[in-house]
Structure 1
Amino acid sequence: MLEVAHLVRRFGDNVAVDDVSFGVAPGTLTGFVGGNGAGKTTTMRMIMGVLAVHAGEVRWDGRAVTAQDRRSFGYMPEERGLYPKQPVLDQLVYLARLRGMTADTARSRAQDLLERFGLAQRGKDKLESLSLGNQQRVQIAAAVIAQPSALILDEPFSGLDPVAVDSMAELLREYADQGVPVLFSSHQLDLVERLCDRLVILAGGHVVGQGSVEELRSGGGSRYRLVLDGDPAWLREYPGVRAIDIDDGRALFEIDGADTDGVLKEALSRGSVREFTEVRPTVAEIYREVTA
């Protein structure tokens, strides 16, 4: 279990991360989402010990994390941290050996990963000669090469084509299925919704929402869409209803205290009802609401 408890990080007078707490359970994919400057990268750097923690604690298996624990974590920084003028295979082997792997095991593991990411023929090429997307693939391979006990990945899907995204998603799920806690940040909210067991939403250095997608969806009232021949503006004044969007005979609204039969009866009394449907909010919609 990877936990952060009440983390605080300041840069001068700016509090970049303010009392952030969440957990990443074994075998779960946890999506870490938030706008630019929300504090995601700073939090990940504190987890990895790249930045000092000004208050709070990072925990591993219920105790304060140690440098030895972190050596077993797989980390992918937002800014690529590999050597641009070194051959791809050589530096993957080097990084694996730093983690304690034998030369033969490291080379075999590196070759397997390069083949998986469609780079088996590029092992002798310098990293800088690869496209940005392929450099991203190599960075991912570096993060997982030593069979990590936890994965901390900052924007791992950035710059990947759809085929590589699917391959990466499959790889992360494999690690989660082995019991590895996986935390990754992404601005691709549709991808987060598809992949993640849990989400942590950050805004202004604070956690503004966390839980499974279903838990976050159920955090507000029930949401419905109503399509009428007439004008549904009356919903703005209907008790127990919160109108979200009303336009041209269509209304999106939440019911929080009213009853659906009563709303439908009122709608029918005002004309033909073309549609009355419960709507499940997407992660993108949840994100916009909790960060507004």
Structure 2
Amino acid sequence: MDSQLEKPRHIVRKFQARPQHEGVGAVVRRSIGRFELRYFDPFLVLDEFSVAAPAGFPDHPHRGFETVTYMLEGAVKHEDFQGHRGLIKAGDLQWMTAGRGIVHSEMPAGPGVSKGLQLWVNLSSKNKMIEPKYQEIQSKDIASTSKNGVTVRVIAGKSMGIQSPVYTCTPTMYLDFTLKPSSHLKQPIPIGWNAFVYTLEGEGIFGLEKSGPVGAHHLLLLGQGDGLEVWNRSNKVLRFVLIGGEPLGEPVAQLGPFVMNTDEEIDQTVEDFQYFVNGFEKARHWRSEAMVGLEA
């Protein structure tokens, strides 16, 4: 954290993520994957979601990328067509590699509102059709440390001398920072990676000390450089995530939850899903418990 940055990154673009409706009755603040910013290589979507039963995200497919679900409040019940199921609670992480195909359901569990972040990370052409897999880490097992008023939870990558055990097919860093009032952070970022900040709570100064403070629910795209400098000049706690990834530099063809490299591959994916082949075989007869309940 005390390392010197030779070329600090500055904010090159900033906008507020406004609420919109997604799924069935759910509300998300989408910052990547909307008309202002369709794609920020290798990131396809960033949603800050807020959902309460009976709303949610019932049975839907994915192919060609990873979904990273990081819970902030409440819990989400996850089920998929391979029989995998579980509860993702506040502070927990699920890193799902959809690869050649997953059909799953994500629904709020328990009373009240469940909130979290979902990030879609693109896969390179050589990884798009790999077998699906999950990495799930409970909150108590996420690598975390504090120093000089700065606390970091290392979802992926490394910070302040600690490393996440998460394996990322597309090289990625994902850091959850909390800065107490009057604290200051210097965080290295690999040169050449694309990186951004998403603010969750409080307000902070990012990149240039003389720049104005930025409040919650803002996406800050960072220019190139070797790291980020942040100051909390307010009298409240500042919380944000810093996410970066190595650009793939490949063409992107997307149709909703399917992300491939060409239109032909998208057509093939639609056909595979329609006819339950090439990774979608188990979708033919599968309904989640949540969907069965909705249909009853």
Normalised to the residue count of structure 1, the TM-score between the two structures is 0.27
Higher-helix-fraction structure:
1
Normalised to the residue count of structure 2, the TM-score between the two structures is 0.26
Larger Rg: 1
